[in-house]
Structure 1
Amino acid sequence: MSLDELLQSFFSPSNPIYISLLIVGAIFGMIYVLNKYMINPSISKYQLEKEKVELEAAKLMALFAQLNPDPMIRVNSDGIILETNKVAEEIAFNQKLKGKNIKEIFPFIKFEQPDSASGRHTGPQSYKINDTYYSIVLRSEPTLGITQIYFHDITTLKTYENRLIESGNKLRELSDHLQNVIETERQNLARGLHDGVGQGLSMLRIKFVKLSERETDLKQKAIYNEIIKTMEDTIHELKNISYDLKPRMLEEMGLGFALKYLTDKVVSETDIKAEVNIVGEEIRLDSKLEIYLYRIAQEAITNILKYSHATHFSIQLIFLNKLIRMMISDNGKGFDIEEVSSRKSSINGMGLINIRERVESYKGEFKIEASPENGTMIIIEIPLEKERIWQKQNQYAS
């Protein structure tokens, strides 16, 4: 077959290959025409409109910055200042900021380059500049490669906050002073009961004992003996009251021994079981801290006996390197913490609020874990400083 016949056969309308090539060529031609005369102009128009919108937005942002009563600074991704308002220059001592690095003017601002994938909102950061407190917020616009830095004057708010902190400190000092006064009066009362009333009753008992020994009338002797028995019970009760007011065991033997003595006394007088565990090397604390921890334990035990319906409680006294932790737990009915915390005196006597304030006065932490039917645990942690440590002792550790 000749070349002409081959070409005529290839370009024949009946040749499927030729028809396919014509269709493919037509498709590519249509794509070219659409891309050149429709798609590309649309893209160019969109880009122009986008640039126009961005330019308008930048103009509006600049206008807003100038009209904003708060200082505002715009920087690029390298932290170079692109735009500021007049108020921003005023807080920088009226120096021209444009073109300078933000870290040179305000080195305390934590500036980070904006994320190219998504914007970042950083802050607020609070700083004092020229006797004025500012809340500083950074908002990044990665598509524009800029970060807006907003300064909001919070001087009034900061003033009230400082006053509130000062009032809180004064209240804690007053509460601390009040507890010290109460403890001092307790000790004075205990001393008065022991040295005055207690000794008076003891002397009176001795006199009745002598009268009973001399009495020959059995009926009168029985009366004397009954009076002596009543006086002995009164003296014993007076000793218990005096000890509760001023626990000598605490003063002489330390917190661990005093807590063991307290729980042993509770176990002997009730049906409840109890234990005290001391972990670590026991150290003597300053008397003020020891008496306070003892009072917390005393108050917690009182509430366990009154309200928890528990059959067992335990006290864990843990001496760590720079921390003392006291944990008091029971297997009682527990309670709803939110409901109890809303009351003015959620734990009789001291109350949760008072306990928390006293713990915080020692820069400690107070936690309470409780729920209905699951018992209660009180956790108190006090950091130990040199002035709070008296001496080490381990003869009572268990």
Structure 2
Amino acid sequence: MKVLVIGGGGREHAIVHKLSKSPKVDKIYCAPGNAGIAALAECVDIKAGDVEKLKEFTLQNNIDLTVVGPEMPLVQGIVDEFEKEGLKIFGPKKDAAAIEGSKYFTKQLLHKYNIPTGRFKAFEKYQDALKFLKETWHPVVMKADGLAQGKGVFIVENFIEAKEVLDLMMKKKIFGTAGDTVIIEEMLFGKEASVFAFTDGKAIVPMVSAMDYKKIYEEDKGPNTGGMGSIAPNPYFDDKLLKEVMDKILKPVINALQKEGIVYKGVLYAGLMLTKEGPKVLEFNARFGDPETQVVLPLLKTDLVDIIEAIIEEKLDKIHIEWENKEAVCVVAASHGYPREYQTGFEITGLEDVKGAFVYHAGTALKEGKIVTAGGRVLAVTAIGDSYKEARDKVYEELKKINFKGMYYRKDIAIV
């Protein structure tokens, strides 16, 4: 098979790496890819959001299967466009991808079908939102309705902070049109968990659970990021809890979408808060998460191509999916200043010395034969062990070998 993977981050590197292990795959292309992906696939200079060019490339190169990594092309409707041409593509269609593309759509769906989540209000007018914030309880969570690269969520402790965030989203438009509608919801308390599941629109099969570390600094302090590390399985997530999540959240949401006339095929990613009242939905994503994919896929024993084909053909119930009985730990190395302003273009050294872990490239590029930084989150280093401690020790040992100017990573990932 010839496979095209769309995207150029750590998640896509993890997908490419797993696909490269399949005996069914002869050739992998990645658009646009990055310096690390280039070792496993032919990188194609097409942006992940350029649906027309991607479709053209797929037709011209007789691609057998396309796997979509990031959310943007899914929300734009790339699956619908490819399927019109009879092309095989993995991911939800545009109407289903709204589960990530619009937080308002998701909140309405959850409330309509009594799926556990926090109370919320949505506002399109600045003054209405401001009035509500003056009169409401605090702390609250404020979210941009649309896609904001994982940075559109703010926890605010009081009205002054809330007004500042509202100004950023609705007046300064820091997220563009994604902040035209602002969601204000109650703050949920507990441990966070990420649960990925494969679904063909009927059957839904959970993957190994994961835990993401969102804050930039140790002890979960500082602003939110796209993720500074992750571990799998989630130590706070047992079989009893999984059954509850399946029965009260994952199965009901697929059924709810069906009732709305939407068939969801692909990866469904539930961001949950494990509250005293039970698990509640924080958000859904319409694709593999990042950096959770970098700990989940290394533990997958079943051929990923077999799973993808079963989903496309709506035969997911016919396949048995197996996982390694191990622990995986991933630590993200970021550019100094991330998630705010940061510089790029610094040479990365020591990559060839890493032996006890796998280095997924998140924001890298090739420049004059050298690998350089090209993003806020630069590398995601993952190790597997029989315990979190074993995997953690390996990761931090290998991270010492890597260096670039301003390199920063959290030192407390996987202390459980």
TM-score bracket for this pair, using the shorter chain length: under 0.3
Considering fraction of residues, name the structure with more helix. 1
Considering fraction of residues, name the structure with more strand. 2
Q: TM-score, normalised by structure 2?
A: 0.23
Q: TM-score, normalised by structure 1?
A: 0.23
